[in-house]
Structure 1
Amino acid sequence: MSSNPPGQCCFQGVKHEGKAVGRYEQTEDFETYISEAPDKSTENGILIITDVIGHRFNNAQLIADQFAANGYFVFMPDLFYEDPIPMNRPGDFDIMKWMQGEYSEKKIAHLPPVVDPIIEKSIKAMREKYGVKKIGAVGYCFGAKYVVRFLKPGQVDVGYSAHPSFVDDDELKAIKGPFAISAAETDQIFPTEKRHRSEEILKEVGQPYQINLYSGVEHGFAVRGDPNNRVVQYAKESAFLQAVAWFEEHLK
């Protein structure tokens, strides 16, 4: 596995201040947060595949709005059927039980057999309902696995992830498009050996790739980092600019 399964660090962090400007829409059987480019263009779209805190998390919505401000139509679906993990849950919370659906009233799991169809429906809606011609996917932590799984012709054209989790070697080997990663210096989910293994695989795959390593930060910094810590805030801002530059080069 080129990154480890999710852990406690995947839902710890700091809520960011700011007012989201997007809107909610229903997409088949799940809700979606949508944020539009200033010119309302939908030619180039960004599919944000969130971490376990989900699409209603203010931090994620502010990021979606930032991508929109850079000229993208942004589509961020509810991956969990209203069963995200609230940030900073107590330490006795078992994320693996959550993934199996044990905390959900409807006992809906949060694994590929359930999440894959949500991504498929999202891609279909982006292309058919909103007229998106090229799709870039952004995956934070939990979401990185699904960027990798869908980085194929006719699905996702270009991929980016920050502090990925739960990505299998075979999934990474199967990508068919450009892929970039923002990595944290301290990360038990994507530690040094997993990052190096990912580098080896990406080199073998032969698609354009980029891995940026940010010092002084931990897993989750790109979404849940403390904005009052200048080192963390710099890394967060830089990781976002890395993603924008990646899509400007490979998507537009």
Structure 2
Amino acid sequence: MDDETCELVNGAELILGEGTDSIRAYLLKAVKNNNGNGVLLLSDIFGFEDSSTRDFAYRVACNGYNVLVPDLFRGNPWTKNRPRTQFELWLSRQPPERVAKDINTSAKWMVDEFVAAKITKKLGIIGFCFGGGKLIETIAQDKDSYFGIGICFYGTRMNPSLASNIKIPVLFVSGDDDPLCPVSILHDMKNNIRDSRVVVYQGRGHGFAHRPESPEDDKDAEDAFFVMRNWLHDSLVVKN
């Protein structure tokens, strides 16, 4: 992927839904090399406007996809300057039912935009950290079969018991030095999800793939992106 290709991406702010149920989102669309496939990207706690999240979404779009990043926190993401002692209080103000509803609103919008138009058959879904945990919940409850493939980057607060309800392949990516995403849980979940895969990077901590903080992180982040790109391509572009 070169810089010239990456320039061929359009970005737009959107409002999804109506009234009190409406949410903001950011859509990135490949222009000349668009393969027609939609990917829903669930952010970490820093939200949909965070530069690291948007940069990653941009790179995914560069490879031909239409990437939607919804505001999971209704304008109140976690910020780096807040004391960690306030984290659980902040999280309690992000009710799971509302977050799940907003994710469903986003998925339905993508289905109407891309699947109903017969551009693609299934959506892809990517989640980082908090979003990774929500990804597991979302695809475990995907009664309408919106999604065809999942990619979970170091998901937090995941419920392993949901794995048996998941019917699509999931790529799990994490570091072995990540206390928020134990590798043992990923392997337990993989064993209950058909055709899934776990990729673990030695010495890497939480967030390395989209927030690299060292040359070593950078190297493994590039590899993780390459693995993810192939997973998306093989499952959405080739199979669709």
TM-score (norm 2): 0.84
Unaligned runs of 5+ in 1: 1-18, 102-109
Q: How many residues align?
A: 220
Taking the TM superposition and a 5 Å limit, the aligned residue runs for 1:148-167 are 148-151=136-139, 152=142, 154-167=145-158
Q: Choose from 60, 79, 89 the match for 2:81.
A: 89
Q: Choose from 209, 215, 221 the match for 2:202.
A: 215
Aligned mates of 2:222, 2:135 — CA distance in 1? 21
Aligned mates of 2:185, 2:50 — CA distance in 1? 31
Superposed CA RMSD: 2.1
Aligned mates of 1:179, 1:167 — CA distance in 2? 14
Aligned mates of 1:92, 1:116 — CA distance in 2? 25
In the TM superposition, what whole-angstrom CA distance separates every residue of 1:57-89 from its partner, at most 9, and x where no partner exists? 011111111111101100000000000012x33
The answer to whether the aligner puts 1:27 opposite 2:16 as a matched pair is yes
The answer to whether the aligner puts 1:115 opposite 2:107 as a matched pair is no
In the TM superposition, what whole-angstrom CA distance separates every residue of 1:14-48 from its partner, at most 9, and x where no partner exists? xxxxx996221111211111100133747311100
After TM superposition, give the deviation of residue 201 of structure 1 in Å: 3.2
The answer to whether the aligner puts 1:199 opposite 2:219 as a matched pair is no
Q: Is the 8 A contact 2:186 2:198 kept in 1?
A: no
The amino acid across from 1:139 in the alignment is G
Q: Choose from 244, 248, 252 the match for 2:229.
A: 244
- The farther-off stretch of 44-53 and 128-137 is 128-137
Taking the TM superposition and a 5 Å limit, the aligned residue runs for 1:66-105 are 66-86=59-79, 88-101=80-93
4+ residue stretches of structure 1 with deviation over 6 A? none
The amino acid across from 2:204 in the alignment is V
Greater relative contact order (CA < 8 Å, ≥ 6 in sequence)? 1
Counterpart of 2:3 in structure 1 is none
Aligned mates of 1:136, 1:26 — CA distance in 2? 21
